[in-house]
Amino acid sequence: MTATERATDAEQAASDAGLRYVTDRTPGIRRERAGGSFRYYAPGGREITGEAELRRIRSLAIPPAYTGVWICPDPRGHIQATGRDAKGRKQYRYHPRWREVRDETKYHRTIAFGQALPRIRARVEEDLRRPGLPREKMLAAVVRLLEIT
């Protein structure tokens, strides 16, 4: 699956879940430290002071140590926030509905993989018996290594 196909799949999954596919490359809410707490600013620069919006932002439980925090201005965005942890790794906070849908998808794919496994193992056995070192035999060896480790 190409990056474009994955993005399209994610866009469709978000839509099916009643969410909006978003990316942190678009303008979002930014977080700035203010003493012992934070202030939040809408994409246009206006400080967010509405209690409902602040409650939504706080409910995301973004760790105070995160830097470069981006918060989705849309409460229905599939990604609700991103930030960098202390080691510089990008971390994501997803909408609960998005996690639910993706977990369900993962479960169904796992079932399909389990059903295909006997055919995969049979093919690996067949390819490992090939003479010489053809591509199929090398790939079968990799699959076998993955299975036994």
Do 48 and 8 share a structural domain? yes
Q: Are residues 129 and 88 in the same domain?
A: no
**Cβ-count burial 35-67 (b if 16+ within 10 Å, e if not):** eeebebeeeeeeebeeeebeebbeeeebeeebe
Residues 6+ away with beta carbon under 8 Å from 12: none
Domain holding 108, by residue range, is 99-148
pLDDT at 44: 95
Both 109 and 37 in one domain: the answer is no
pTM of structure? 0.71
CATH number at residue 69: 3.30.66.10
State the pLDDT at residue 5: 55
Report the b/e string of 91-128 with b at 16+ CB within 10 A: eebbbeebeebbeeeeeeeeeeeeeeeeeeeeebeebe
Distance CA 130, CA 16 (A): 46
Yes or no: say if 78 and 94 are a contact pair by the CB < 8 Å rule.
yes
76 and 105 co-located in one domain: no
Please indicate, yes or no, whether residues 103 and 90 belong to a single structural domain of this protein.
no
Burial pattern 22-34, b for ≥16 Cβ within 10 A else e, equals: bebeeebbbbeee
Q: Are residues 90 and 109 in the same domain?
A: no
Q: Are residues 84 and 111 in the same domain?
A: no
How do residues 31-81 score in pLDDT, each as one tens digit? 999 999 999 999 999 999 999 999 999 999 999 999 999 999 999 999 999
62, 79, 94 — which closes off a domain? 94
Residues 7 and 74 both lie in one domain: yes
Which residues face 29 on adjacent strands?
A: 71
What's the domain count of the chain?
2
Whether residue 65 sits in one domain with residue 115:
no
**Do 143 and 72 have their domain in common?**
no
Same domain, residue pair 48 and 82: yes
118 and 60, same structural domain?
no
Residue 131 to residue 119: CA distance in whole angstroms: 21
How high is the pLDDT of residue 75? 98
